[in-house]
Amino acid sequence: MLDKSYIGRNLGRITTEVERGRLRFFAKATGETNPVYTDEAAAKAAGYRSLPVPPSYFFCLQMIDDPDPTGWLTKLGVNLQHILHGEQSFEYLDMAFAGDSLIFESRVTDIYDKKGGALEFLVTESTCVNQLNKVVVKMKCTTVIRNPGAGKK
Amino acid sequence: MSNPQFNSVEVGTLLPSLVLPPLNRTVLALYAGASGDHVPLHIDIDFARKAGMPDVFGHGMLTVAWLSRVLTGWVSQQLIRKIDVRFIGITHLYNEVTCSGRVVEKLEQEGEHRVRVEIQACNQYGDKKVVGEALIALP
Structure confidence by residue, pLDDT tens digits, A66-96: 888 888 888 888 988 888 899 999 999 999 9
Q: Is A134 on the interface with B (CB under 8 A)?
A: no
Closest CA to B85 of B39, B127, B123, B129: B129
Q: Is B86 on the interface with A (CB under 8 A)?
A: yes
Beta carbons within 10 angstroms of residue B82's beta carbon: 17
Q: Which of A36, A51, A58, A85 to mutate to test the interface with B (most CBs of B within 10 A)?
A: A85
The reply to whether residue B69 touches residue A59, judged by beta carbons under 8 angstroms, is no
- Residues of chain A contacting B51 with CB distance shorter than 8 Å: 81-82
Q: What is the pTM of this model?
A: 0.95
CB contact burial A76-111 (16+ within 10 A = b; e otherwise): bebeebbbebbbbbbebeebbbbebebebebbbbeb
What are the structural domain ranges in chain A?
A: 4-17+53-146
Q: What is the pLDDT of residues B116-132, one digit of tens each?
A: 999 999 999 999 999 99
Q: What is the ipTM of this complex?
A: 0.96
pLDDT bin (cut points 50, 70, 90) of residue A153 is: very low
How many Å apart are CA A144 and CA A83, to the nearest integer?
6
The third-level CATH classification (topology) of the domain covering B7-137 is Thiol Ester Dehydrase; Chain A (3.10.129)
CATH code reported for the domain at A4-17+53-146: 3.10.129.10
How many Å apart are CA A56 and CA A60, to the nearest integer?
7
Of B34, B60, B71, the CB nearest to A55: B71
The reply to whether residue B20 touches residue A59, judged by beta carbons under 8 angstroms, is no
